[in-house]
Homo-oligomer: A and B are copies of this chain.
Amino acid sequence: MMISRRAKIGKNVQIGHYTVIEEGVEIGNNVEIGNHVVITEGTIIGDHVVIKESSILGQLPTSNKNMSKKPSEKINGLKIGNHVTIGSNSVLYHGSTISNGVLIGDLASVRECVKIGENSIVGRNVIVENDTVIGKNVTIQTSSYVTAQMIVEDNVFIGPCFSSSNDKYMGEGNDSLQGPILRSGSKIGNNASLLPGVTIGQKAVVGAGAVVTKDVQAHDTVVGNPANSI
């Protein structure tokens, strides 16, 4: 272990082998941290948190010259609430808030400036891009892709392999990125695709494999490519 003397570590904290904890990290009580974990400066972790092997907490964004979004220089620390579980080989960025009771699966990644509400599930191999807001009691199943600037309200269910996008000009760089909006209680089937900026209404259902090109009304069900009401 390589634990900074300036990290604040609570009571009854177990730390695995070869784990690196930088200075300025704050860890609550009754926390289990696996082997080969990295926790960087500015990460704040609550009580009763489980952090599995080889996960990386508090990564900073990068870019290259072809990326429209340049990382902000003022990204705040990563905040992890109580009773959170973080899976193995996951990568979480600074500036995000993971609320109490959240479960993040193995091999998942949550980018900067994301908010995830209480008791939500971010499945195995799921990617949540920057600046997205996810409500409470949301389920995002395995290998789904949640794009940037997306809004996912409370009690939404997203099946596996969901795909979303936020750039209708596909890289032409006019900066008007807008992810889809999933209103509360909506349900999305596996491998459905949402185009940039579409809104899925309250308690609406999107069928598996549907390609949603326009807004879906509350309580409606759509299927097909392009998706239409059934």
Q: Using a CB–CB distance below 8 Å, which chain A residues touch chain B? A: 2, 16-18, 20, 34-36, 38, 50, 52-54, 56, 59, 62-67, 83, 85, 87-89, 91, 101-103, 106-107, 109, 119-121, 124-125, 127, 129, 137, 139, 141-143, 145, 147, 157, 159-161, 163-165, 167, 170-171, 187, 189-191, 193, 195, 205, 207-211, 213, 223-226
Number of identical protomers: 3
Residues of B within 8 A of A223 (CB): 226
A161 and B146 alpha carbons, distance in the complex (Å)? 11
A87 and B91 alpha carbons, distance in the complex (Å)? 10
A145 and B101 alpha carbons, distance in the complex (Å)? 26
Contact partner of A64 (CB less than 8 A), chosen from B103, B159, B205, is B103
Q: Is the CB of B121 within 8 A of A66?
A: yes
Residues of B within 8 A of A35 (CB): 20, 38
Q: Lowest 7 CB-CB distances: which A-B pairs, in order?
A: A209-B211, A161-B163, A163-B191, A64-B103, A165-B190, A191-B193, A157-B171
Q: Is the CB of A36 within 8 A of B18?
A: yes
How far in angstroms is the closest Cβ of chain B from A208? 5
Q: Is the CB of B2 within 8 A of A17?
A: yes
Residues of B within 8 A of A129 (CB): 142
Residues of B within 8 A of A189 (CB): 165, 170, 195
Contact partner of A224 (CB less than 8 A), chosen from B89, B124, B147, B225, is B225
Closest to A67 in B: B121
A142 and B125 alpha carbons, distance in the complex (Å)? 12
Q: Is the CB of A209 within 8 A of B193?
A: yes
